[in-house]
Chains A and B, each alone.
Chain A
Amino acid sequence: MPAAPGPCPMDPGQMASTLQRLAADLVARLKPEEEVVLLGIRSRGLPLAERLAILLRATTGAQVPVGALDITLYRDDLTEMVGSPIVRPTEIPFTLKDRTVVLVDDVLYTGRTVRAALDALLDHGRPHRVMLLVMADRSGRELPIQADLAGLRVEVPPGQRVAVRLKEIDGEDGVTVEAC
C-alpha cells in the first residue's frame, strides 16, 4: 500500500523506460577498451542485470556476461541472527580479473548489502573497477557507499520501505513506497 505522499513511485512503463536510460547511461560511462560484466545481487538484482544485458545487446551488439552474487555469507550481522538465512549459489562462470564489474541491485539503502557484495566479489578475483547500478537509491546510508547509476533517487523516512517489484519474482513491475 503506497504511503502518502508517495514520492514518485514507478509503474511498469516507467520502469521499462528507466532501464533503457540506465543502459544508455552505462554505455556512455564506459571506455571502449573496458570489458564489462554484470553481477546481479540476489534476489532482485539478478533479473535486473539480465534485463540490462538484453538492452545492452540491443544497443551495442555486445553480449555482456551476467553473474549472480549471493551475499548472505558476507553479511555483517550473520553471526548475530536468529536462525541461518538460506544461502543460494553464487554463479560467476567467468573471470572478474581486469573486468569492469557492474553490481546491480534493486534498492540502495544502508549500503551494507553493497559492502558485503564488494567483499564477496573480491574473493572471486580482482576487477579493473567496480560500479554500482540500482533501480532505487533511497536515503538512510550507514556506510560511505554511493550508486554510480540510479533509476530513481528518493528521500524516504526510516519508517518506510521502498519496494522494487519485478515480474520475474513478483509477477509485476513497479516501485512503491510502503509503510513498514
Chain B
Amino acid sequence: MTSERYVFPHKHLLGIEPLSPQDITALLDQARAFEEVCERPSIKIVPALRKKLVVNLFFENSTRTRNSFEIAEKRLSAEIINFDADTSSLNKGETLIDTAMNLEAMHPDLIVMRHSAPGAHALLARHMKASIVNAGDGAHEHPTQALLDAYTLRKKFGKLDGLRVAIVGDIRNSRVVRSNLWLLTRMGARVTLVGPPTLVPQEMKATWPGIQISHDFDAVIPEQDAIMMLRAQFERGTGAYIPGQGEYSRFFQLNPARMKRAKKDVVVLHPGPINRGLEITSDVADGPNNLILDQVTNGVPVRMAVLYLLSNPHGEQVP
C-alpha cells in the first residue's frame, strides 16, 4: 500500500495565524475529499478516526459550531464525549488546568474547545498530550469558521487570490474577522473592513498592513466579489459602541437597495446566527446571492479535514 504522504506540520489548530498558505491549501483540498463523503447518497461515514476519542469541551454557548463538529466526528467514526460546562465541576470552582488534567487521565486523542479566554487553548495545549482544536476563543480566533468561509469562496470562485472581500459590521468584537483576516490576506485576497469608526479599530492595519478600512459601505460595495456580514453582537457589547440599532442599520445593513449597487454575481456570507432586519434583511439573507446555508453545509467536511489531519501523531511539529 503506497500512497502520497502529506504530514500536516501542526499538532494543534489554535488559530489561522500559525498556518502557512501550504497548510491552508492542504486543509481546503482535504475538505474536498470529505465533501464527497458528505454528499454520498448512501453511507456518509468513513472509518478514518475509528478508535480515536474526541472530547467536545464547550465553555461557551454554541449551537451550529458544536453540532457541526459533532457531525464531522461521527462521520469519521470517532468516539465522542460531550463535556458540558454547565454541569461540570467548573461550577464547583475547578480550574481549567484541573479540568484538563482530569480529561487527560481519560486519554483523549483530540479536544475541540470553545472558551471565552484567548489563551485557554494554548494553555491546554501545553498541559495535554491530545491535539487541541480551537472552536472559538473570545474575540481572538475561530479558525474553522474562516476555513469554511474560504472553502465556500474557493468553491464559488475557484481561487482566493485576488478576490475582493468586504467584511462588514462589528469588527471589534468578532473572532471570525481575525481568523478570516489571517486566512484571506495570506491567500492573496483583498480585504476591506467596513463599519462605524467605533467598531473598526484602525490599529488592525498594523497587524494586517494590506487591508483597507472604510466607514462608507455604499462606496465600497460595487467592487466587491464577496460581502461577509457579521452578526451585531449585542450580547458581547456591540451596543456600547453605536448610537442605536436603527442608526446602525441605516448605514451598515445589507438590504435590497445596497444589493443594487453590488456586482450581479456578488456572494453574501454570514457566519450566523443572523439578526434578521438588523445587519441584513430577510430578502437578502434568503436571496439568490446568499451562500449562508452553503457555509453551514461546508462546515462539516472542513472540520472533518481538520480532525483528520490532526489525528495522526507526527514527527516534527510546530504549534
| A86 touching B47, Cβ below 8 Å | no
Which of B36, B50, B313 is in CB contact (< 8 Å) with A90?
B36
Min CB gap A33→B, angstroms: 24
Chain B residue at smallest Cβ distance from A88: B33
| Docked complex Cα distance between A73 and B32 (Å) | 14
Min CB gap B16→A, angstroms: 19
From DSSP, what is the main secondary structure of chain B's interface residues? Answer: loop
- Is A83 part of the binding interface, using a Cβ–Cβ cutoff of 8 Å? yes
Q: Which residues of B contact A (CB under 8 A)?
A: 1, 3-8, 26, 29-30, 32-37, 40, 42-43, 45-52, 308-309, 311-315
| B1 touching A113, Cβ below 8 Å | yes
- Is A99 part of the binding interface, using a Cβ–Cβ cutoff of 8 Å? no
Please judge, given known A-B contacts A74-B47, A124-B42, whether A91 and B36 are in contact too, CB under 8 Å.
yes
Please judge, given known A-B contacts A70-B33, A87-B30, A87-B34, whether A82 and B312 are in contact too, CB under 8 Å.
yes
| B315 touching A86, Cβ below 8 Å | no
| Docked complex Cα distance between A81 and B36 (Å) | 23
Q: A73-B48, A86-B29 are in contact. List 13 more A-B contacts (CB 8 A).
A: A43-B3, A77-B1, A83-B8, A83-B314, A84-B308, A84-B311, A84-B312, A85-B3, A85-B5, A87-B30, A90-B37, A112-B1, A123-B42
| A125 touching B7, Cβ below 8 Å | no
Min CB gap B317→A, angstroms: 10
| A73 touching B314, Cβ below 8 Å | no
| Docked complex Cα distance between A106 and B312 (Å) | 27
Chain B residue at smallest Cβ distance from A161: B2
Q: How many residues of A contact B (CB 8 A)?
A: 28
| Docked complex Cα distance between A62 and B311 (Å) | 44
| A82 touching B314, Cβ below 8 Å | yes
Can you sample 15 A-B contacts with CB below 8 Å?
A72-B3, A74-B47, A79-B51, A79-B52, A79-B312, A83-B7, A84-B308, A86-B29, A87-B30, A88-B33, A90-B33, A123-B43, A123-B45, A124-B40, A124-B42
Interface string of A108-140 (1 = CB under 8 A from B): 001011001001000111000000000000000
Chain A residues whose CB sits within 8 angstroms of the CB of B6 once the complex forms: 83-86
| Docked complex Cα distance between A83 and B194 (Å) | 40
Which of B36, B49, B50 is in CB contact (< 8 Å) with A89?
B36
Min CB gap A26→B, angstroms: 25
Chain A residues whose CB sits within 8 angstroms of the CB of B33 once the complex forms: 70, 87-90
Chain A residue at smallest Cβ distance from B308: A84
Task: Among A43, A74, A79, find the residue whose CB has the most chain B CB atoms closer than 10 A.
Answer: A79
A-B residue pair count with CB separations less than 8 angstroms? 79
| B30 touching A82, Cβ below 8 Å | no
Min CB gap B221→A, angstroms: 36
Task: Among B3, B4, B36, B311, find the residue whose CB has the most chain A CB atoms closer than 10 A.
Answer: B3
| B312 touching A83, Cβ below 8 Å | yes
Chain B residues whose CB sits within 8 angstroms of the CB of A70 once the complex forms: 33
| Docked complex Cα distance between A79 and B308 (Å) | 10
Min CB gap B40→A, angstroms: 7
Chain A residue at smallest Cβ distance from B7: A83
Chain B residues whose CB sits within 8 angstroms of the CB of A84 once the complex forms: 6-8, 308-309, 311-312
Chain B residue at smallest Cβ distance from A74: B47
| B42 touching A85, Cβ below 8 Å | no
- Is A78 part of the binding interface, using a Cβ–Cβ cutoff of 8 Å? yes
Chain B residues whose CB sits within 8 angstroms of the CB of A43 once the complex forms: 3-4
Please judge, given known A-B contacts A79-B52, A90-B36, whether A85 and B46 are in contact too, CB under 8 Å.
no
| B50 touching A82, Cβ below 8 Å | no
| Docked complex Cα distance between A83 and B152 (Å) | 26
| B1 touching A75, Cβ below 8 Å | yes
